Amino acid sequence: MAYPIVMEINTLTTRHSHARVTLQGPNQPLSVWRIPEMPPLPTNQKTILFADIAGSTRLYDTFGDFKARELISKCLSHLKELVRENDGTVIKTIGDEVLCTFSTPNHAAETARQMHEEISFDPEMIQANIHLRIGFHHGEVICEPGDVFGDAVNVAARMVELAKSDQIITNKDTLTLMKLPLKRRARIVDRTRVRGKDDVMEIHELIWGKPEQMTMSTSFTEEMIASLTSEKDFLQIRHLQNRILVDHERPILTMGRGVANHLIINDPLVSRMHARIELQRNRFMLIDQSTNGTFLKPQDEEPILLRRDVIQLEGEGLIGLGQKVSEDDPLAVRYRVL
């Protein structure tokens, strides 16, 4: 004789379920099977970054389906490589957009800057007039293989929606977690409500690009003006036939094998965006952002390995990207504080 099966769902949510399955005879249940609750999924603090190709539909209209798809694929490949070089995780690509995560907003901000510079200096991307919109947010997320969920993801998606072409957008909560040099490159651009949030959110843009192209926030501009009272701060960089001066008018120098850099050094051990020198409060700071590290050899001193760290440049000496260098090494970058 066949007996009906009756399933009683006691609770059911997207994460938890508890069911009671009864095999029922003519007079009484014959057996009961309880499905236990699923444990809650683990959460992590991550910075979620979306990078989107601005106006990608125009590419299809201009170049046709095949060429447009090829350009978009190349652009996304550049972006994903930069994510991996900066210790990020590529979650997935969604059409003309890449979704990735970082352990800190500092890593996300630096990668976003590199993304813009890489695409804006790439000859093929320039010819196709490809530009990016980038937004990121730090918060609690649920990580699964090939995907990420949570309120932070929704907020990050809203940040990239607010970004215009060539912009990097984040918010005040994320900005407060970032290091001071990055905070100085931020300016408030809006106050708006984000879906699912009760309070008005303060929106900030991170400025990137050549110093003469930047429009800085008022506080940063005042600091820069104050620093100009000293006219003696110059750093001379020499590599082969290249001579570059870092000063208050040109306070940033980037080095690496990518075409977006001021000083391009093409070697397998050199990262695409390997290192940079910044003039900060009348001090020249060498900042490593590479995979293999940067070697600094002050004159008459032993080499120092810099890995994802910052050090002040004083006097004169050599810089080696990804490897130790000597005076006659063609990869040696020579510096001298004047």
150-175: pLDDT as tens digits = 999 999 999 999 998 889 999 999 99
pLDDT of residue 78: 95
Overall average pLDDT of the 117-141 stretch? 92
Alpha-carbon span 108 to 126, nearest angstrom: 24
Alpha-carbon span 169 to 206, nearest angstrom: 6
In this predicted model, which residue has the larger pLDDT, 138 or 30? 138
In whole numbers, what is the pLDDT of the chain averaged over residues?
A: 83
Residue 159, Cβ neighbours under 10 Å: how many?
26
In this predicted model, which residue has the larger pLDDT, 186 or 248? 186
Go through 47-73 and write b for each residue having 16 or more CB atoms within 10 A of its CB, e for each that does not: bbbbbbbbebeebeeeeeeeebeebbe
Tokens of 323: 């490897």
Cβ neighbours for 198, distance < 8 A, ≥ 6 positions apart: none
| Cα 317 to chain centroid, rounded | 31
pLDDT of residue 24: 53
In this predicted model, which residue has the larger pLDDT, 239 or 13? 239
Q: What are phi and psi of 111, to 5 degrees?
A: -65, -40
Whether residue 197 has pLDDT greater than 80: no
pLDDT of residue 15: 40
Percent of the chain with pLDDT over 90: 53
pLDDT of residue 16: 42
Where do the H-state alpha helices sit in 164-217? 172-175, 180-183
Tokens of 55: 């106006």
| Cα 257 to chain centroid, rounded | 18
In the structure, what pLDDT confidence band is assigned to residue 244 with cuts at 50, 70 and 90?
A: confident
pLDDT of residue 203: 93
Helix, strand, coil share of the chain (percent; to 5): 25, 40, 35
Overall average pLDDT of the 24-47 stretch? 63
Overall average pLDDT of the 211-233 stretch? 42
In this predicted model, which residue has the larger pLDDT, 13 or 36? 36
Question: Which range, of 32-36, 99-103, 134-138, 319-323, averages the lowest pLDDT?
Answer: 32-36
